[in-house]
Chains A and B, each alone.
Chain A
């Protein structure tokens, strides 16, 4: 179920808000970039992105859903013929809001909302398979260091509690690794 927007409607009544959002969406698809108040831009963003998502899949059902909002046929064509296919690879986030300075007349915070044009390059997915070798790589030198420390302790014979506590373990590790090597 769609969550109702909090606070007052844009323009005062629900019908007025529907019209404002529809007109803003139509202007956005027509020009690619519009300047409006920050509040309207923030309301427009999910609204326009849902329309673009529908435009990615050109079916009669989707066209009927979109034509309820975008009544201008040329804009509808631009949306389905150009904007939708251009966003085929992009998983959401089709628009970008950039804040600009306040408006002269009423000091309202203004923003530019635009359709993202740059080609989408998916980020390299960091899965556990790629992370595991990275995690394993630093672990092995640590064992080597322990072995080195153990060797150092044996040669220098430092008599501290910590060294005594650490050395047997390291020695065991070293023995275990040597045994493993011999087994191979």
Chain B
């Protein structure tokens, strides 16, 4: 079985891990003017439970 020849230094470990970046999720404004929250696109709003175009939004939850 292949095994590492050398101990991985703390520096190398931290250098590698520093490249693990989280990306902020893109959000859009809730179609409900009264809600004023940000929602993931194509998902019903978690705050007010509404979904749809601004003109014809509907209560989903």
Contacts and interface: CB of A to CB of B under 8 A. Distances in A.
Interface stretch (B2-10, B15-23, B42-50): B42-50
A26 to B, nearest CB: 22
A100 interface: yes
A2 B56 CA distance: 36
A28 to B, nearest CB: 15
B40 A98 contact: no
Interface residues of A, number: 5
A98 B46 contact: no
A112 interface: yes
A180 to B, nearest CB: 48
B61 A112 contact: yes
A99 B49 CA distance: 11
Interface string A6-27: 0000000000000000000000
B61 A99 contact: no
Contacts of B53: none
B28 interface: no
Nearest to B56: A118
B60 A112 contact: yes
A110 to B, nearest CB: 10
A99 B42 contact: yes
A101 interface: yes
B28 to A, nearest CB: 14
B25 to A, nearest CB: 11
Nearest to B50: A98
A111 to B, nearest CB: 9
18 contacts: A98-B44, A98-B51, A98-B60, A99-B42, A99-B43, A99-B44, A100-B43, A100-B44, A100-B46, A100-B60, A100-B61, A101-B40, A101-B43, A101-B44, A101-B46, A112-B44, A112-B60, A112-B61
Interface of B: 40, 42-44, 46, 51, 60-61
Interface of A: 98-101, 112
Given A98-B51, A101-B43, 10 more contacts: A98-B60, A99-B42, A99-B43, A100-B44, A100-B46, A100-B60, A100-B61, A101-B44, A101-B46, A112-B61
